């Protein structure tokens, strides 16, 4: 193997084939399903399989509430693109601060009852550049980070180039121990998620705020898997728990419950202005297109008042958990809308996903390492308001069939074996 620039001395392609072989050896090589969602018919979609197009049902989308097909959201996007064109035309500084973006930031600040908000091109970027920029402005900052934080937060912490301490997941005694042993005069930033998306558990937001107040720390919460879905206006777990005013920075995405694309942070004027002025991931990239901003604003506004999506979402998640559990499937305990089903082996997890798609027309992506720890591989199911009883029953039947074909333990057998 020789790459064009290699001149015969170097085997550049070899580096990449070796890298890919490592992933295949570890059963971590990812294969994407080529899907075409159908607006107005969620969760039905077309799968462009190797044998040609097939009708399937998606059971793992993070467009949790189906807002990506909502007429108000689609309408706002089409109308704005028709009126203002497609791209933003530049970075925010050059020509990218379009009016729908300004309106979106106002809407987000209002959603979280903060003075200001700042939009980024993704939730990933908002964490990566937001956390690092904030920490860098605080001399000798100590970051305290939950062990289960998402990769975007881990990258933000790394790029802050300051000291970090990892507290055991949701372990308040450990967090307190770390806070108590830090210099009281040192700036401290606690970063955590409100809802951990692979297990579906939530953070004790108020208890973290209690500790932050006691030890003089700042709080930064990732509400990516909660905004739109929790709280009377969709302000997330912090709104549901009455803690919005106690959190310094609320970070979220426009790409999951709001059905669009982009990320944001909300906080005080000075904090947001600092990130706007110093964050490379904000400054040196093209702004979100006006049509995307208008669509996101339409989704946020709708979910501020409509309870139907939130209530139906919770109802569908509860129903799915109950039906799968009644079928003896190993549903992992989750107090939220996430329904993880335990597999515990990367190959079987991939095989289960492949069989579901090929034999039952059900798409559920396998969740393997490094997204979850080895040995805890799972199928992560995300029911939406549009998954009706017929679809839920069909899912349970398909899963039982796959479990039996792969010899995976059903609940009674798993318990008997313990
Ligand atoms: C907890 C968490 N934070 C941030 C992100 C990144 O958000 P986005 O998909 O908008 O980039 C994700 C992505 O799935 C996530 O799970």
Q: Which pLDDT tens digit goes with each residue over 14-73?
A: 999 999 999 999 888 999 999 999 999 999 999 999 999 999 999 999 999 999 999 999
Please say whether the dihedral angle defined by the alpha carbons of residues 62, 65, 69 and 75, taken in this order, is positive or negative: negative
pLDDT at 413: 47
pLDDT at 28: 85
Residue in 200, 224, 372 to alter for ligand 1 test, most ligand atoms within 8 A of Cβ: 224
Report the nearest-CA residue for atom 9 of ligand 1.
123
Mean pLDDT of 192-211: 98
Q: Residue 228 gets which letter from DSSP?
A: T
Neighbours of 214 (CB within 10 A): 11
Residue whose structure tokens are 């040192």: 186
pLDDT at 26: 85
Residue 75: enclosing H or E segment and its boundaries? helix 71-84
Mean pLDDT of 208-229: 98
Question: Measured between alpha carbons, how far is 87 from 288 in angstroms, rounded to an integer?
Answer: 8
Nearest ligand 1 atom to alpha carbon 152: 4
Q: How far is the CA of 83 from the centre of ligand 1 (A)?
A: 30
Assess whether the C-beta atom of 122 lies below 6 angstroms from ligand 1: yes
Neighbours of 339 (CB within 10 A): 27
Q: How far is the CA of 280 from the centre of ligand 1 (A)?
A: 19
The pTM of this model reads 0.95
Mean pLDDT of 226-230: 98
Mean pLDDT of 203-232: 98
Residue in 150, 220, 257, 338 to alter for ligand 1 test, most ligand atoms within 8 A of Cβ: 150
Reported as a single tens digit per residue, the pLDDT across 148-192 is 999 999 999 999 999 999 999 999 999 999 999 999 999 999 999
With CA atoms as reference, report the closest residue to 250 among 193, 326, 184, 299.
Answer: 193
Assess whether the C-beta atom of 193 lies below 6 angstroms from ligand 1: yes
Active site amino acids: 256
Nearest ligand 1 atom to alpha carbon 263: 10
Helices assigned H by DSSP within 160-307: 172-181, 205-215, 237-240, 269-278, 280-283, 290-305
Q: What is the dihedral of CA 295, 301, 304, 307, to 10 degrees?
A: -70
The yes-or-no verdict on residue 1 having pLDDT over 60 is no
pLDDT at 3: 55
Q: How far is the CA of 224 from the centre of ligand 1 (A)?
A: 6
Question: Measured between alpha carbons, how far is 382 from 317 in angstroms, rounded to an integer?
Answer: 7
Is 266 within 8 Å of 112 (Cβ atoms)? yes
Question: Measured between alpha carbons, how far is 144 from 180 in angstroms, rounded to an integer?
Answer: 12
Nearest ligand 1 atom to alpha carbon 127: 4
pLDDT class for 2, splitting at 50, 70, 90?
low
The yes-or-no verdict on residue 416 having pLDDT over 70 is no
Reported as a single tens digit per residue, the pLDDT across 277-309 is 999 999 999 999 999 999 999 999 999 999 999
Is 174 within 8 Å of 167 (Cβ atoms)? yes
Q: How far is the CA of 341 from the centre of ligand 1 (A)?
A: 21
The yes-or-no verdict on residue 417 having pLDDT over 90 is no
Neighbours of 352 (CB within 10 A): 24
Q: Three-state SS across 373-416?
A: CCCCCEEEECCCCCCCHHHHHHHHHHHHHHHHHHCCCCHHHHHH
């Amino acid at each position: 193997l020789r790459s064009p620039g290699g001149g015969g001395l170097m085997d550049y392609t070899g580096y990449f084939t070796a890298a890919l072989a490592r992933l295949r050896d570890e059963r971590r090589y990812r294969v994407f399903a080529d899907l075409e969602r159908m607006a107005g018919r969620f969760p039905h979609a077309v799968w462009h399989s190797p044998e040609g197009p097939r009708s399937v049902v998606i059971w793992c989308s993070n467009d949790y509430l189906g807002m990506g097909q909502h007429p108000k959201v689609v309408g706002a996007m089409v109308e704005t693109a028709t009126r203002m064109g497609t791209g933003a035309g530049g970075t925010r500084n050059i020509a990218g601060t379009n009016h729908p973006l300004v309106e979106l930031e106002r809407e987000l600040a209002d959603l979280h009852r903060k003075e200001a908000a700042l939009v980024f091109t993704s939730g990933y970027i908002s964490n990566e550049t937001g956390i690092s920029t904030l920490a860098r402005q605080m001399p000798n900052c100590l970051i305290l980070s939950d062990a289960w934080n998402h990769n975007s937060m881990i990258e933000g912490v790394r790029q802050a180039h300051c000291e970090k301490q990892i507290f055991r997941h949701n372990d308040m005694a450990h967090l307190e121990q770390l806070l108590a042993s830090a210099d009281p005069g040192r700036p401290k930033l606690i970063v955590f998620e409100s809802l951990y998306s692979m297990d579906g558990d939530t953070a004790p937001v108020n208890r973290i705020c209690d500790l932050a107040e006691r030890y003089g720390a700042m709080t930064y919460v990732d509400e990516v898997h909660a905004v739109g879905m929790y709280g009377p206006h969709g302000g997330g777990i912090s709104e549901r728990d009455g803690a919005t005013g106690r959190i310094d920075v609320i970070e979220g995405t426009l790409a999951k419950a709001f059905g669009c694309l982009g990320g944001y942070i909300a906080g005080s004027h000075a904090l947001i202005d600092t990130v706007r002025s110093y964050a490379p991931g904000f400054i040196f990239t093209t702004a979100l297109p006006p049509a995307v901003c208008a669509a996101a604003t339409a989704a946020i506004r709708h979910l501020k008042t409509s309870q139907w999506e939130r209530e139906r979402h919770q109802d569908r998640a509860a129903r799915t958990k109950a039906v799968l559990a009644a079928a003896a499937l190993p549903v992992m305990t989750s107090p939220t809308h996430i329904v993880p089903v335990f597999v515990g082996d990367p190959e079987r997890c991939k095989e289960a996903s492949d069989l579901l798609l090929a034999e039952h027309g059900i798409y559920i992506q396998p969740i393997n390492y490094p997204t979850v720890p080895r040995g805890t591989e799972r199928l992560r199911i995300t029911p939406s308001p549009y998954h009706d009883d017929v679809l839920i029953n069909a899912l349970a039947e398909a899963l039982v069939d796959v479990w039996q074909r792969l010899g995976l333990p059903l609940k009674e057998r798993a318990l008997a074996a313990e």
